[in-house]
Homo-oligomer: A and B are copies of this chain.
Amino acid sequence: MKKQVKISNAVIKRLPRYRRYLKELHKKGVDKISSNEFSRLIGYTASQIRQDLNNFGGFGQQGYGYSVDGLYKEISAILGLDRKYKMVIMGAGNLGQAIANHTYYYKTGFVVDSIFEVNPRLIGIKINDIEVRDYEDLVEYVEENEIDIGVICTTKEVAQEVADKLCFAGVKGIWNFAPVDIEIPSHVAVENVHLSDGLHSLAYHINRNQEEAKTK
């Protein structure tokens, strides 16, 4: 695996977005893109793009642009998307099921191995061919099957307890959908998803547009 450089979290958060746009460009048959063209497409300034990509030694050439496929592959490798990850979903409610059913994750190397539940009526059934297992068996299962990521799809109230158990069992990362920031040891990575944050930004823009329409 290639040696990784320490990069600011803000840049890391932008890389998946660069990668998505590069993938779409590649699909459309685009081979090269300049930072200016990329800027118009992705909505960051050209200087921001050059600065971000310079973090990795710079893939562009003056007056030539970035190689779409080359940059896509480099970013994929930097993010660690050139390997597989085994995930367990905590909670077989609608959200847990939505993630279990989302084929996208499998295609991109994030394999849902199992779903864990406390509800005895759900334990033993299969969702999208994935077995729903007893929460009581979590620690042993994670250890034996070398699970990388725990996806928390529980209520806010039990999320921290579930996170503690996942960390104890030895997962390397937690993807948390419960609407609370969970606390974990520093050797475990965490991504807290706050869906409502996006909704609240959306509310701002709706009001802003309405204000602008009034003053026209």
Contact = CB atoms under 8 A, between A and B. Distances in A.
A197 B4 contact: no
Given A1-B207, A78-B204, A16 B105 contact: no
B15 A208 contact: no
A106 B188 CA distance: 33
Contacts of A97: 94, 98
Contact of A200 (B79, B95, B181): B79
Contacts of A15: 200-201, 204
Contact of A79 (B93, B105, B204): B204
B108 A196 contact: yes
If over half of A's interface residues share one DSSP class (helix, strand or loop), that class is named, otherwise mixed; here it is helix
Which of under 10, 10 to 19, 20 to 34, or 35 or more describes the interface residues of A? 35 or more
**Copies of this subunit:** 2
Contacts of A209: 172, 187-189
A13 interface: yes
B195 A193 contact: yes
Contacts of A78: 204
A110 interface: yes
A16 B191 contact: no
Interface in A106-152: 108, 110, 148-149
A213 B187 contact: yes
B85 A201 contact: no
Interface in A73-100: 78-81, 85, 93-95, 97-98
A105 B108 CA distance: 31
Residue with the highest number of chain B CB atoms closer than 10 Å, among A97, A172, A200? A200
Interface string A201-214: 11111111111010
A197 B94 contact: no
23 contacts: A3-B211, A4-B207, A4-B208, A12-B204, A16-B197, A16-B201, A20-B197, A79-B201, A79-B203, A80-B203, A80-B206, A81-B203, A93-B98, A93-B101, A94-B101, A104-B179, A110-B199, A172-B210, A173-B206, A175-B199, A187-B209, A189-B206, A189-B209
